[in-house]
Amino acid sequence: MQTYRVKRTGLLDAMVGRQETDFSLHANANVLVYLIHGVTGTPAEMYYVAREMARKNRWDVYVTTLPGHCRRLKDLVRTSEQDWREHVLAQLSFVRDRYEYVFVSGLSAGGLLALDASTVVPVDGVGVLSPTFVYDGWTTPWYHPILPFAMKVVPLPLQHLLFHIDGPPFGIKDEELQGRVREAYRPISILREWMKDWRARRKPNDGDSTRAPSAASMGYPIFPLRTLTEIDRLIVRVRAGLGGVTAPTVILQAREDDMTSPRNAAIVYDEIASENKLVVLLDDCYHVITVDKQKEAVARNLSEFFHLQIVGRTLVSTVLHRSHV
């Protein structure tokens, strides 16, 4: 497949609600792929997929930063699932008015946000990566069953004082990358990363149009109870509305997902109303499939599925046009 040179500046520079850690790739296309990272994650986890889809398909790609992310932990705990949903809806509404084809895809809780948004903003396709409805992966902590009780009895203003610390394998099977995450989650490493990003944002663009963002690039190693409560609220809301999802949908998940088993992919497939839907189960990777060993397969499957939707709509338009001639 031929690749194209893409730029980091263009139409999407004017995106509503754009944050410093958002990034976009421009190919002057009539197709936009909007990517959503996971809650407690960062846009960096979507960079490989974004780059591949832009270069190989000559599509425009936008990777958002969810409210409260890529900042201090206290900024994260101040945001809610409603903040995340409203942010995604506002940006998708912006691009819907400017592109002929709009696709949305998200990782983990970002996939839930993509499903939710598709019921409000008309999109041409949805990509759901490692969906998170039930935490039933093989690394699920022993105390997870008591979390619903904690969410109910601990007052919301105090929930930021209780947290879960993420540990190996961090949703990643690739041992080299897993080691880098382990190093990045050291407190001194996180501090250095934030300082590096702060300095980078103060410098003019150095001309590297497709450089990956570095801002807290490995995400947060801590999951405050407050944030887990908001994720739970998002899960309840989105699952109740799955019957309203009608857009063509592709679901990708690892067979060995350490956080959420393939049962979650089945939930999406079985409960959405889309007639055009597909599940792809990947081997040799864990939860964060966009950076793990099968990241190329993720980009390829998304591209192929979205391309089919474009071709299908084009054929329908051609047939309708000829019938009226």
pLDDT tens readout for residues 145-187: 656 655 566 666 655 555 556 667 888 999 998 888 877 776 6
Q: How many CB atoms lie within 10 A of CB 63?
A: 24
What pLDDT is attached to residue 150?
A: 56
CA distance 218 to 224: 17
Among 26, 271, 248, 216, which residue's Cα sits nearest to residue 122?
248
Do 25 and 196 form a contact (C-beta atoms < 8 A)? no
Predicted TM-score of the model (pTM): 0.85
Q: Outline where DSSP puts E strands in 85-238.
A: 101-107, 125-129, 163-165, 222-224
Angle at 248 between CA 306 and CA 44, to 5 degrees: 55
All structural domains of the chain, each given as residue ranges with its CATH number in brackets, are: 11-323 (3.40.50.1820)
What does the CA dihedral 49, 55, 60, 61 come to, rounded to 10 degrees? 20
pLDDT, one tens digit per residue, over 50-65 is 999 999 999 999 999 9
Residue for token pair 């109870």: 225
What pLDDT is attached to residue 221?
A: 66
What pLDDT is attached to residue 139?
A: 80
Residues in the chain where the model's pLDDT stays below 50: 206-216, 318-321, 325
Mean of the per-residue pLDDT values for the chain? 85
